[in-house]
Structure 1
Amino acid sequence: MSSIYKNILLLTSASILSRLIGILSIPIITRLYSPSDMGVLSAFISITSVLLAFSTLRYSVVIPLPRTQGYALNASVLCLIVLSFVCTLLFILIYFFYEVFFDFFNLNALIEYWYFLPISLLLFGLVEILNTWAIRYKKFKLISSANVFQSSIGATSKIIFGLVNLNPIGLIIGQVLVQAGSVIMLLKFYFSKYSSKKVSIKRILYIARYYSDIPKFRLPSQVLLALCVNMPILFFSYHFGTEITGQIGLALTVLSLPVSMIAQTIGQAFYGEVANIGRKKPRLIQELSKDIFKKLLIISLVPFTVLVIFGEDIFKIAFGAKWSDAGLYARIMSLYIVTNLVSSPLVNILNIYARNSLYLWINLSRFLLLIGIFSLSFCFEYSIVNTLLIYSLLLSVHYMFITLLIFKVLDFEVIKFDGNVNVQ
């Protein structure tokens, strides 16, 4: 169990450093760009994130699972083939319909830069594939270095473009360079393990068939998850415009810092560890999961308390007076930080025990919940504050339910395993 905490410490330290670079750049960026500019960036990232769910048909989660390097390599090539096809298709569709598409989300400033969307998707997809490949080999130091490098490139480029008044496209270019920086760092390691002799059409097709449940269940689940995560930004961009979206975007960026620094990095190390342990040791996975849960619960109370008490003051001082509304929105939405942070790493257990249908059900229920929230807001013209209050409360309840459900799955696997042992 000590190895996972060593990996967590390594990933978390680098993640904190990369996020610290981002945090230090935000006060500069918010003074160079307007809330409307930030709204354009937030909507662009949200659209790309939703499209990312289709990038590999979720076959990327297969890469750490095969015992042999050959099959893992064929899984990665399968992901690259799918990614190439999806990005080409997106390029063709956007080429013919980009004006209608960007106008719908109030992103007219990006109409002449429509080609950045498929480029961004390609780089996002490559990062996902290469990152998962590195996780398979527990190259957490490499992942950490890539995170720091990409954060430095993104922050520097956005500041430079802001200084020369390249608004808002400077933010978009900076975001694309963030992903490019990570690809550069991870690609060398991938090719160091690549062997064309081990790759064949037969093996690629075998991987696609053997893990066919992944696109059947995990793809819809991931699409729903991406929609759930990005729905607030897309809804506010469509309904309230980019000015409000910029304020919401900054609030969500600050709120996501503890989740991205802690939950995602722990989730990567946790997934690598439990995949290595294997599904035949459910009791060990259960003990590890409980330990992770307790530690995350304690850690998450710190950012929650700080934001609730000092949220608006922090935003005014750090980002300028024009961002005070973002501080208010952050206070409201900070309620679900705790539940989101503690549940995020544990979801990886569903991969280990192939509970893809359950994962689909979880994301479908959350999607319907959010559709209900934003539909009510739209129909009854709720204020931004009331909409965010309802959103934060109901989402917190949903995350708590997910956590309980995952521990129920582990209890079931332990009982089933103990029963099989006794029978033998």
Structure 2
Amino acid sequence: MSVRHTIFQFTRRPFVRNVLAVAGGTAVAQGITMAFSPIVTRLYGPEAYGIQGVFMSVAGILGTVAAMNYPIAIVLPKSEAEAFGLARLSIYIGIGMSMLAAALLFLYGSELLDLLNAGKIAAFIYLIPVFMLVSVVNRVASQWLIRKKAFALTARIAIWQALLINSAKAGLGFAYPAAIALIVMNILNGLLGTAMALFGWRMSRAIQPVAAKVLDPPSNAWTLAKNHRDFPLYRTPQELLNTFSHSLPVMMLATCFGPSKVGFFSIASGVLALPAGLIGTSVMQVFYPRINEAIHRGEDAKGLIVKATLGLALSGALPFLVVIAAGPMLFGLVFGAEWETAGVYAQWLSLWLFFQYINKPAVSAIPALGLQRGLLVYELFSTGTKVLALYLGYVVFKSDVAAIALFSGFGVVAYAWLILWVIVHSGKPLLKSIADTV
């Protein structure tokens, strides 16, 4: 009874309840997508999916940075007018960046695609600016819901998006199973998420009283851009570096060891990242407004970060330990004996991904603590050490497993340092100095 009572009380906590709401919605959405996958993949085939993958690899990164990461700042201000001003600023920048991208693609589209080895998407090149703008608007809507702590609404949106978009993909696949259909569905997915977020926010009784405050005159756009300039100056290049560093193993394995090793890595990292991303991303969405609120109120930010980090460590220790102990056997059993090497990769990657999993509270606190310049410096050193690790694995040890092991080991050290750095800098004296400079 005591254990059951303890679990019940734990799940009744607002933070845990919100995490479970977001994670539950994400899990159901992923389940829907997986259920449709056998149908959709058979309808469209590998070539259509390959072209979609190339398109998303180019447009996805551009969409992420199209608003120079100003949408992330929407959660931070105390003032509703300032938050609304940041949302508007983000959309303005997104429009400008999308128009700039359209002009560059019109003038130099073929050359740019050749440079990126993405000539297969030449027929869909002008959908890239459209995707960028839709991504910006969708990100603004998502950050607004995070600011409003509308986590139940976020979960419902994820489920309905997965159901409607996958149904549309399947239905369209019977009539026109082409790559353009998949690409358009990705764009419509962002529009659908934005529309549902706006409709749900306006219809929610809990949030309606706040809407009137948004009508207050927002701050000047230039002033907002200047006050939150750390997002374009530091967070945007940091995200680009982070994306590059995550693609390093694939690039190295493909160049040095062949496509089969890329397959092993893709399976290993994909399987491990799925459950870790499910909980970790949910924690980030819930913890970001919570830590920001704590800093505004002068609460113990350091204690919150430590507790959340330890909670994630306890929740993730057993699954990751199982993979570390029996990775090759598990992968061989589930995927077949030829995939045991992927299990060896998974053993080493588990160490790295475990620390990536538990660093979510620290990463969530960085914007609120004003540490984004330090995060960029960290990312530079982290990416550099990962390049060094892969180089040593290939040149010195001439082993793909050694390269993955070194990559993971360097990543563990980097993530551990990041967590400790944020915790050390989350003390009240620092918070006061930040407040004085804003």
Q: Which residue does the alignment assign to 2:103?
A: 92
Residue identity matched to 2:225:
A
Q: Which residue does the alignment assign to 1:142?
A: 153
Q: With structure 2 as the length reference, what TM-score do the two structures score?
A: 0.79
Alpha-carbon contact 2:90-2:140 (below 8 Å) kept: yes
Q: Which residue does the alignment assign to 2:272?
A: 255
How big is the shift at 1:297? Answer: 0.7
Q: Which residue does the alignment assign to 1:277?
A: 294
For residues 103-154 of structure 1, what are the alpha-carbon distances to aligned partners after superposition, in whole Å with 9 as ceiling and x for unaligned?
A: 4554443232223433332232222211111111111111111222223345
Alpha-carbon contact 1:55-1:83 (below 8 Å) kept: yes
Q: Which residue does the alignment assign to 1:51?
A: 62
How is 1:322-341 mapped onto 2 (pairs within 5 angstroms)?
329-341=345-357
How big is the shift at 1:382? Answer: 5.2
Residue identity matched to 1:117:
I
Residue identity matched to 1:272:
P
Change (3 A) 1:76 1:353: same
How big is the shift at 1:308? Answer: 4.3
Mean alpha-carbon deviation: is it higher for 373-382 or for 147-156? 373-382
Counterparts of 1:28 and 1:151 in 2: how far apart (Å)? 14
How is 1:12-51 mapped onto 2 (pairs within 5 angstroms)?
12-26=23-37, 41-51=52-62
Change (3 A) 1:106 1:211: closer
Residue identity matched to 2:80:
Q
Counterparts of 1:173 and 1:310 in 2: how far apart (Å)? 42
Check if 1:353 corresponds to 2:364. no
For residues 162-193 of structure 1, what are the alpha-carbon distances to aligned partners after superposition, in whole Å with 9 as ceiling and x for unaligned?
A: 77794655554444444333222113356774
How big is the shift at 1:296? Answer: 0.7
Which of 79, 93, 104 pairs up with 2:90? 79
How is 1:4-403 mapped onto 2 (pairs within 5 angstroms)?
4-26=15-37, 41-157=52-168, 166=177, 171-189=182-200, 193=211, 198=216, 203-233=220-250, 248-283=265-300, 285-308=301-324, 329-373=345-389, 384-403=400-419
Counterparts of 1:153 and 1:35 in 2: how far apart (Å)? 23
How big is the shift at 1:77? Answer: 0.1
Mean alpha-carbon deviation: is it higher for 268-277 or for 119-128? 119-128
Residue identity matched to 2:351:
L
Mean alpha-carbon deviation: is it higher for 220-229 or for 19-28? 19-28
How big is the shift at 1:287? Answer: 2.2
How big is the shift at 1:294? Answer: 1.6
Residue identity matched to 2:418:
I
How big is the shift at 1:16? Answer: 1.9
Counterparts of 1:296 and 1:188 in 2: how far apart (Å)? 33
How big is the shift at 1:216? Answer: 2.4
Counterparts of 1:265 and 1:305 in 2: how far apart (Å)? 22
Counterparts of 2:278 and 2:330 in 1: how far apart (Å)? 19
How big is the shift at 1:340? Answer: 0.4
Change (3 A) 1:131 1:235: farther
Check if 1:408 corresponds to 2:419. no
How big is the shift at 1:255? Answer: 2.6
Change (3 A) 1:127 1:116: same
Residue identity matched to 1:366:
S
Change (3 A) 1:247 1:190: farther
Q: Which has the higher contact order (CA 8 A, sep 6+)?
A: 1
How big is the shift at 1:15? Answer: 1.8
Q: Which residue does the alignment assign to 2:436?
A: none
Change (3 A) 1:218 1:87: same
Alpha-carbon contact 1:247-1:325 (below 8 Å) kept: yes
SS at match of 1:396: helix
Mean alpha-carbon deviation: is it higher for 327-336 or for 305-314? 305-314
- Specify the structure having the higher radius of gyration (Cα): 2
How big is the shift at 1:416? Answer: 5.8
Unaligned runs of 5+ in 1: 420-424
How big is the shift at 1:246? Answer: 6.3
Change (3 A) 1:375 1:36: farther
Alpha-carbon contact 1:127-1:179 (below 8 Å) kept: yes
Q: Which residue does the alignment assign to 1:422?
A: none
Counterparts of 2:305 and 2:318 in 1: how far apart (Å)? 21
Change (3 A) 1:235 1:190: farther
Mean alpha-carbon deviation: is it higher for 28-37 or for 43-52? 28-37
SS at match of 1:67: coil
Counterparts of 1:230 and 1:146 in 2: how far apart (Å)? 29
Mean alpha-carbon deviation: is it higher for 10-19 or for 134-143? 10-19
For residues 25-47 of structure 1, what are the alpha-carbon distances to aligned partners after superposition, in whole Å with 9 as ceiling and x for unaligned?
A: 45666677777776655554443
Change (3 A) 1:211 1:163: same
Counterparts of 1:311 and 1:172 in 2: how far apart (Å)? 35
How big is the shift at 1:339? Answer: 0.4
* Residue correspondences, number: 415
Alpha-carbon contact 1:46-1:234 (below 8 Å) kept: no
Alpha-carbon contact 1:315-1:327 (below 8 Å) kept: yes
Residue identity matched to 2:411:
L
Unaligned runs of 5+ in 2: 1-11, 204-210, 434-438
Change (3 A) 1:239 1:151: farther
